[in-house]
Every structure is written in structure tokens, then in C-alpha cells.
Amino acid sequence: MRVAVPRETAPGERRVALVPETVSKLRDAGFEIRVERGAGAAAGFLDESYTAAGADLVDADALLDGVAGVVRVAKPSQKESEALAPGTVLIGFLQPLTDAEGISRLRERGVVAFAMESIPRITRAQAMDALSSQATVSGYKAVLLAADRVPKLFPMLMTAAGTIAPVRALVIGAGVAGLQAIATARRLGAVVSGFDVRPAVQEQVESLGAAFLDLGVRAEETAGGYATELTPAQQEQQQAALAERIPDFDVVITTAAVPGRRAPKLIPASAVKRMRPGSVIVDLAAETGGNCELTVPGEVVERGGVSIVGTTNLPSLMAYHASQLYSRNVAALLQHLAPNGELALDWEDEITAGACVTRPKEASA
């Protein structure tokens, strides 16, 4: 199976779908990899390293000639979609729940598209779980962004001039990103608390050395690992309880998100108003509207002396390792779809059927 790796064109996207390390392993597994010149440069992977790994380097106009598959990070533009031949296997973050037009375009082209967001959350598919790998990067980077902006030292320091109290940090949401944020903040020396409406994650939060913040709001966990939606009354209770507790913290990192929906509003403007000047909120849900009422997606704003970081696509800010992790996810999916480099789509398989968002008509019968 010949697979193409294009250079990403989405604004601000620095990642690459396959890194040289993975290209070498895929070549050994029977794949032929074609890489657009400069595809990995923004992530720190030079063309020479791809050549050394066994990839064929080509210019953009020759990239898709005779390829059976295309792997990328971000969804293709309209022009990129129209360049794909019918029957091409496409793998990437395709936003199937929010970009109906883009998915329809791929379907009309006859592209067999697999969305990395749609990989089933089952044990057998863990190596393909790109949402988790990239959330790990986001949780780590969120803490660094907070540490850079808060005018305080994270750890407690005992000096000749006296003792400096540590930063108090609150992480809202104990999914993959939240747990990584907790672990990173703890490593930097902060006193950390974690909050989640799922009681089952309390043990995970505490195992990382953080206190579990119990606000009396409970929700069950779905099969996909997400919290069930709260009732309007529960949402009001949660907002009120958080508004009471948030002023106690110097740093707040929010990670609550529901796939395909707007992010739940957890921090009202009134709560931000009560925070101490110099405090920082890093909103990892900014891309879908934000967990804070005052978040501006893609921007860092200041309200009453409180910095609210709405920076989106945090994994792209750590492009080298984010690409490395994503590349391994993509390679695992490729090898699942094409054992020994031979495409063999099994529509009875839970992973193949679950991840495909533009299944061919003959396979749907």
C-alpha cells in the first residue's frame, strides 16, 4: 500500500502525520511511504531524516499520483479534498461531528475516510487513540502556559529571605488532559486540587498527589469515558459551587469537553471577578467555546487582572513529540486496515467500522 504524507496547510498547524521513526517501521511492515518535501520541517523533522528512513520525497504536485492512502493531521481543505481520487483511504482528524460539509464533500468524492476522533475507546484500539495522545500533550502544555503567566513561583521555596508559599492550582476535569495537567503541576511543586463530576476518577486524582474537590455534583460515566450530561439544576449547582471555591486558587485549568458539542460553561464571569489579580485560567476547551464565560478562543485576554488563556491547538505548540505520538497512532491504524501493507477493510470489525465516516455504499449494504 502506497501512502502519502502531505504538508499540513491549516493555519498554525505544525504537526506532521508520520515521523521518520514510524516511516521506517511501516516500510518494514510492507508499506511504501511518500512524503511531501518539507512536511515535517515545522515539527523538527528534516527531509534528510525521511530519506534515511526509506521514504520517497516528492513535490506537492506529484504527491498523490498512484497512492492508495493519505494520512494527515488536520482535515483537508476543499481543494485538497477535491484532489483525492475515488477509493483513496484518508486518515486524520476530520471533525465528523462538527464539519458535516467537509464529510459530505469526501463522501461525494468516494473517499474512504477514517476519523481519528472516531476510534472506538476499547482496549484493542488503545494504540490508535490519538485523542488521548494529543490530550496528554495539551494537559502538559497548559500547565507550562499557566506557569509562564502567573506572577508566582510554583513550588514552595525556603530561602534566607523567608519562605515562599507554593501556587495553588485547580484542574477541572480528570480525563487524560486533566490528569496530565495535575501530574505536571505537582512536578512543578504546586499544591493541586482536581475536580470532576465522575466519582470514579477520585482515586486517580488522589494517586497523583492532588486533593479531590468534592462539590456535591455527581454524574455517571459513559462507555466512552465521558461524563453524562448534567441537568440544568446540576449545572447551576456546579457553577455556584465553583464560583465559591475558585477564588482560593492562583491557577485554574479547565478541560471539560463533550465531543461534537459546545463546551459546558463552568466558570461564570462573576467567579472570575472574585479571583485575585495575577491569577490565570487556561481553558483547554477554548476551541469549542470554552469552559469560562470570558474565554476568547485563540486569544489571551485579561479581565480584572486575571489572565484567561484561550490558546487553541496546544499540541501544535509541542509539535515534535505531539507528532511522534500521533504518528504511532496513525501507524497502528494503518497496520490494522492493511496488514502486511495490503489493504483489507473488514467492515465487520469494530475499529474499522467505527472509525470510518464515509463508508462506501457497497460496504453499507
Answer whether residue 353 is part of any domain: yes
Residues 161 and 253 reside in one and the same domain: yes
Answer whether residue 127 is part of any domain: no
Residues 77 and 106 reside in one and the same domain: yes
Residues 176 and 306 reside in one and the same domain: yes
Residue 298 identity (one-letter amino acid): G
Given the residues 118, 132, 193, 239, select the one marked as catalytic: 132
Contact 309, 149 (CB under 8 A): yes
Query: Phi then psi for 351, rounded to 5 degrees?
Result: -75, -50
CATH number at residue 348: 3.40.50.720
Residues 266 and 354 reside in one and the same domain: no
**Closest alpha carbon to 13 in 92, 99, 89:** 92
Residues 206 and 306 reside in one and the same domain: yes
**Closest alpha carbon to 80 in 14, 7, 130, 11:** 7
Residue numbers of the domain that contains 84: 2-118+319-358
Other beta carbons less than 10 A from residue 278's beta carbon:
13
Q: What is the pLDDT of residues 26-51, one digit of tens each?
A: 999 999 999 999 999 999 999 999 99
* Count of the separate structural domains present in the chain: 2
Answer whether residue 123 is part of any domain: no
User: Is 129 part of the annotated catalytic residue set?
Assistant: yes
Answer whether residue 125 is part of any domain: no
How open is the CA angle 268-226-269, to the nearest 5 degrees? 5
Given the residues 2, 107, 121, 186, select the one marked as catalytic: 121
**Closest alpha carbon to 282 in 154, 171, 127, 134:** 171
Given the residues 15, 129, 134, 307, select the one marked as catalytic: 129
Given the residues 95, 226, 235, 245, select the one marked as catalytic: 226
Answer whether residue 104 is part of any domain: yes
Query: Alpha helices of the chain — where are they, by DSSP H?
Result: 20-28, 47-52, 78-82, 100-109, 130-149, 176-187, 202-207, 232-245, 269-274, 319-337, 350-355, 361-364
Answer whether residue 240 is part of any domain: yes
Residues 304 and 324 reside in one and the same domain: no
User: Is 126 part of the annotated catalytic residue set?
Assistant: yes
Residues of the chain with pLDDT under 50: 364-365
Residues 250 and 331 reside in one and the same domain: no
pTM: 0.93
